[in-house]
Amino acid sequence: MFGLLFLIGCSSSQTFLDPGFANSGGQHYKRIVLVLEPGELDRAAHALLLGTSLEYIGHHKEYILYGAGIERAERRAAGFCAGGDYEADAYLLLKVERATLEGARFLFSVKAGLHDCADDSKLWAAEYGSAYPRYDQDLAATIRGFQNRYGVQTGPFIPGVYLITRELFESLPDPELSGDDILEKIDIDARGPRLDL
């Protein structure tokens, strides 16, 4: 499906939302970790995708984001959800489905899934893919900033990674935070999430 859409320059998206999560998930799933499963990208581009996702969720979603890392999916809930100083309610798993540089375009698709730490059940999922330009004049300042942070070699990936994180996480429901939760989020956001779980 994605191959045909890439050829004609369109984009595609799919989403899933568990009915129970839609009704009351915001009260139970507040603390998460973000995990990127290694795929077709090199380490610098993986770091770019992980960092951009962290930044978007931190600024645009209400989750208390304990940490992030690049890990194989086999580790699953047992390894992702608890650390020495944190215990998460859910983990958000990202997986690159396609990452191909083709002429002036970057063909890119990513899957994301929010999983319950208790039983590994899927609460929310989304998949987004499109053909992005390798350079976008409208994102010139963003490209420069990200190249300074993640390396010049990530330049052709930056427009696609930057745009796909916004498209991918738009449908992720926000949790309902109490006053104490908000203070915890402010504290963790100020310290920055723990990297490499």
Cβ 16 vs Cβ 115: under 8 Å: no
Tell me, yes or no, whether 168 lies in a domain: yes
Q: Would residue 54 count as lying in a domain?
A: yes
Instruction: Kindly tell me if the per-residue pLDDT of 76 is higher than 70.
Output: no
- From the CB of residue 56, how many other CB atoms can be counted at a distance below 10 Å? 18
In one-letter notation, the amino acid at residue 49 is L
Q: Identify the pLDDT of residue 38.
A: 83
Taking the complete model, does pTM exceed 0.85, yes or no? Answer: yes
Confirm if 160 and 142 have CB atoms less than 8 A apart. Answer: no
Q: Is the pLDDT of residue 133 over 50?
A: yes
- Could you give the number of structural domains in the chain? 1
Q: What whole-number percentage of the chain has pLDDT above 90?
A: 60
pLDDT digits (tens, 9 = 90+) for 97-106: 999 999 999 9
CA-to-CA dists, residue 146 to 107, 140, 152, angstroms: 19, 10, 8
| Confidence at residue 13, expressed as pLDDT on a 0 to 100 scale | 76
Which stretches of 84-164 are assigned E, i.e. beta strand? 86-87, 90-102, 105-116, 122-133
Is 197 among the domain residues?
Answer: no
pLDDT at residue 75, rounded to an integer = 59
What is the reported pLDDT for 1? 41
Q: Which residues on neighbouring strands pair with residue 114, listed in sequence order?
A: 92, 124
Q: Cα separation of 17 and 113, whole Å? A: 10
The boundaries of the domain holding residue 167 are: 2-192
Pairing of strands 194-195, 82-83: unpaired
Sorting pLDDT into bands at 50, 70 and 90, what band is 7?
Answer: very low
Q: Is 6 inside any structural domain?
A: yes
Check residue 11 and give its pLDDT: 63
